[in-house]
Amino acid sequence: MAGFPAHLVREDLRGFAGYSSARTSAPGVPARVWLNANESGLPNAVDPGGASRRYPDPQPADLVEAFADLLAAAPDQVVVGRGSDEIIELLVRALCRPGGDGIVVSSPTFGMYAVSAHLHGVPVTDVPQSEDGLGWQVDAAALARAAREAGARVVFVASPGNPTGSVVPLRDLAALADDLADQAVVVVDEAYGEYARQRSAATLLADHPTLVVLRTLSKAHGLAGARIGAGLAHPDLAAVLRRVQAPYPVPVPVARMGVAALAAEALAATRRRVMETLRLRDALGRRLRGLDGIRAVYASEANFLLVRCDDPDALLHTLASAGIVVRDVRNHPGLEDALRISVGSAEEMSALETALGETTS
């Protein structure tokens, strides 16, 4: 694997060692009694076994290895955190100087890229996607040009996209990483990757040291409340991200849940749920396309559909009257008439079907 270009890391952080936590300050010591972290010597009554009495490993080895196995990566390429949102923030923190550099996004897209940039005083350049009424397209060449012109350090590409549901071809992602190899890190957010037909961009990592892939257990794996995510990157960049990360990002019970969710039996169950979700999504798409007032239902490789409506307020009101909440995405550029509808359980989709029937009565 080629080396990661060190000049892409913020100059003031290149020699930064980060916080030395109690779990990292005595590596290799065959300790039997831990008295270095000011932890309670006795467990809490709600945790009688004392499983949570000690601070956790900053990067739980079994969880790191589980993510590495999932995506055929090496453990030193993996950084786990509080959902993939934390990895987004770490990338901006590590690579972009406050008040300088910048990121590039392609709207409509996930809002946390811009939020993280704004919180760090980092400018955002937007290269809007195009659409043809059926699907959305990210212009990778335009992203590269914009990054060059803006002097950006990070380019965020969601694939499948949120809220578009569209996938960016791997050849375009590889070309984008090649075009910007000396200037910027290309981050491929695969939060919905389990629903896509295309293989993961993690397969590109060996040949593209400035590529980063984000994954999460919040979507297909059904663990949004646990907040478990990971970034896969060149080992040198992964080491930098760990150094700028706040200590102890993954609580002990959460790490155990994540490891269990990535075991073979649980992964097989997740694949079955994904197939059921895709079936329900396609049925929902057919239903929506048959409704008056629906102008577009975009092709999706995620667990949701993006819909353009003649009267979004009326549809929102009808669904709310039935106790159903969908996402109003009209605040996104170019989506002034759009809603995003997630695919839930069969029972939830049945309730949605009944409510949609009210729109034609």
In a domain, 42, yes or no: no
In a domain, 38, yes or no: no
Per the structure, the count of domains in the chain is 2
The reply to whether omega before 247 is within 30° of 0 (cis) is no
Which whole number is the average pLDDT over 32-52?
Answer: 92
- Given a contact cutoff of 8 angstroms between Cβ atoms, the answer to whether 166 and 299 are in contact is yes
Instruction: Give CA–CA dist 100/222, Å, rounded.
Output: 38
- Model confidence, pTM: 0.95
Same-domain status, 258 and 271: no
Interval 54-69: pLDDT, tens: 999 999 999 999 999 9
Closest by CA position to 18, among listed 235, 249, 246, 243: 243
* Domain CATH code at residue 127: 3.40.640.10
- CB-based burial of residue 99 (10 Å sphere; 0-12 exposed, 13-18 middle, 19+ buried)? exposed
Which whole number is the average pLDDT over 279-293?
Answer: 96
Residues 6+ apart with CB under 8 A from 62: 255, 259
Three-point CA angle 15, 72, 214, nearest 5°: 55
Interval 292-331: pLDDT, tens: 999 999 999 999 999 999 999 999 999 999 999 999 999 9
Same-domain status, 81 and 118: yes
Interval 97-141: pLDDT, tens: 998 899 999 999 999 999 999 999 999 999 999 999 999 999 999
Closest by CA position to 258, among listed 225, 212, 232, 213: 225
Residue 361 pLDDT exceeds 50: no
Interval 237-259: pLDDT, tens: 999 999 999 999 999 999 999 99
- Given a contact cutoff of 8 angstroms between Cβ atoms, the answer to whether 322 and 358 are in contact is yes
Range of the domain at 338: 267-357
Across all residues in the chain, what is the average pLDDT?
95
* Domain CATH code at residue 341: 3.90.1150.10
Same-domain status, 294 and 330: yes
- Given a contact cutoff of 8 angstroms between Cβ atoms, the answer to whether 291 and 359 are in contact is yes
Tokens 């010591």 belong to 29
